[in-house]
Amino acid sequence: MSSSLPLAAAAPDADGAAPPITVLFSLQARAEPGVMPRVAELFAKRGLVPQHWHSTAAGPTLMIDVQIGDLDRDLGDYIARCMRQIVGVETVLTSEPRSAP
């Protein structure tokens, strides 16, 4: 089962394009050796380096939290959909951290 939290809509900038956002991806998967490299590949093949990556394996469960900035909203949504297609991935949640006032 996969879930997604809707990302808040960002206000367009002066030229009408939505500004880049920071996206947090939280995954729950089976603790199998191929899951982490498959997730990392989604970023690497796009030339993206996560700002933060934390993973924990506890018994049969692998939890991965990834933060990446300067993403186009559509690309963030697409990457989340791709993560949900990875064998062994059970849940993918996305969120956008609130900016400080």
Domain assignment present for residue 1? The answer is no
Domain count, the chain: 1
Domain assignment present for residue 6? The answer is no
pLDDT value of residue 18: 72
**Which pair of tokens denotes residue 37?**
């490299």
Domain assignment present for residue 12? The answer is no
Domain assignment present for residue 7? The answer is no
Domain assignment present for residue 4? The answer is no
Q: Which domain holds residue 87?
A: 21-95
DSSP 4: -
User: Which regions in the chain score pLDDT beneath 50?
Assistant: 1-10
Output the domain CATH number for residue 90: 3.30.70.260
pLDDT value of residue 99: 65
Domain assignment present for residue 2? The answer is no
How far is it, in rounded angstroms, from Cα 22 to Cα 6? Answer: 14
User: CB of 10 within 8 A of CB of 73?
Assistant: yes
pLDDT value of residue 12: 53
Domain assignment present for residue 11? The answer is no
Domain assignment present for residue 16? The answer is no
pLDDT value of residue 14: 54
